[in-house]
Amino acid sequence: MTMSGVRSVDRDIWVLDKYFVISGCRASVRMTILRLGDGLLLYSPVEMTEGDRAGIDALGPVRAIVAPNLYHHLFLRAALETWPDARVFVPDGLDAKIGPIPGAEIMGPQTDFGGGDALEFFVFAGHDLHETLFWHVPTKTLVSSDLIYNYSEDQYPAEKMFFRCLGCYGSPNVPFYHRFAIRDRASLQKLMEWIREHEISRLIMSHGRIYEGEDAGAVFAKVWNRFR
């Protein structure tokens, strides 16, 4: 998999593809960057080089940093050290897992990310991940972290083999074990309703190839409807 620095996906959306090491194997991971108003929001920070940080700074000031769920926090503190004036948003329960993050705002239904009419979001509180998804209105893009994967030949050998065994290779999907992470079926129902209410033509996830197509919302819904 090629690491090519910050790259543009659409107007006001960029991504940074990186990897982390787990059990001695490389695993791909992605950060999404959104321009909101006069600044940037970083969704799911990854490990960054000096060049990566400079590339982001060239796009504009970082106003917000988001740890989207209880697992995508490994590089949160490093991002905050780089951009200490940014607002930081975290899921409920993260402080119990990794300790307090000074100034952190817990994400909830009334959170204001500073995106105005350009950004809508959903907090999936009924799942163990406590993930917050974004819908970027101008580009009809759904941004998620671990609620959809799309592993393909772009990824590293070990992760391709692992997720192929879980049925998550070659098309957007999530592993079967997400079924056991759902604690509130009503919350899942609300997520499905929220997805249906939006016109989604792109899925950006933290793991796997970005999915583009007018059926993107239906693809996401199909993956999760089987757990209802």
- Contact by Cβ (8 Å): 183, 122: no
The pLDDT of residue 226 is 92
- Confidence tier at 94 by pLDDT (50, 70, 90): very high
SS3 assignment, position 185:
helix
Mean pLDDT over 45-56 rounds to 97
What is the 3-state secondary structure of 12-72? CEEEEEEEEEECCEEEEEEEEEEEECCEEEEECCCCCCHHHHHHHHHHCCEEEEECCCCCC
Backbone φ, ψ for residue 72 (5° rounding): -90, 75
pLDDT digits 0-9 by tens, 168-194: 888 999 999 999 999 999 999 999 999
The pLDDT of residue 88 is 98
- Confidence tier at 153 by pLDDT (50, 70, 90): confident
The pLDDT of residue 136 is 98
Residue in 211, 206, 209, 208 with CA at minimum distance from that of residue 30: 206
Mean pLDDT over 95-108 rounds to 96
* Cα separation values, 160 from 26, 75, 135, 143, 197, Å: 11, 23, 28, 22, 33
Following DSSP, what letter does each residue of 129-170 receive, concatenated?
A: T-EEEEEEGGGTEEE-SSS-BBB-TTS-HHHHHHHHHTT-BS
- Contact by Cβ (8 Å): 188, 182: yes
Task: Determine the residue type at 164.
Answer: R
pLDDT at 25 over 80: no
The pLDDT of residue 4 is 64
Average pLDDT over the chain reads 93
Give the CATH class of 7-93+113-225: alpha beta
- Contact by Cβ (8 Å): 172, 219: yes
- Which of the residue ranges 15-24, 162-171, 174-183 has the most confident prediction, judged by mean pLDDT? 174-183
pLDDT at 150 over 70: yes
Domain spans, the chain = 7-93+113-225
Task: Determine the residue type at 226.
Answer: R
Task: Determine the residue type at 52.
Answer: D
- Contact by Cβ (8 Å): 111, 64: no
pLDDT digits 0-9 by tens, 59-92: 999 999 999 999 999 999 999 999 999 999 999 9
The pLDDT of residue 84 is 98
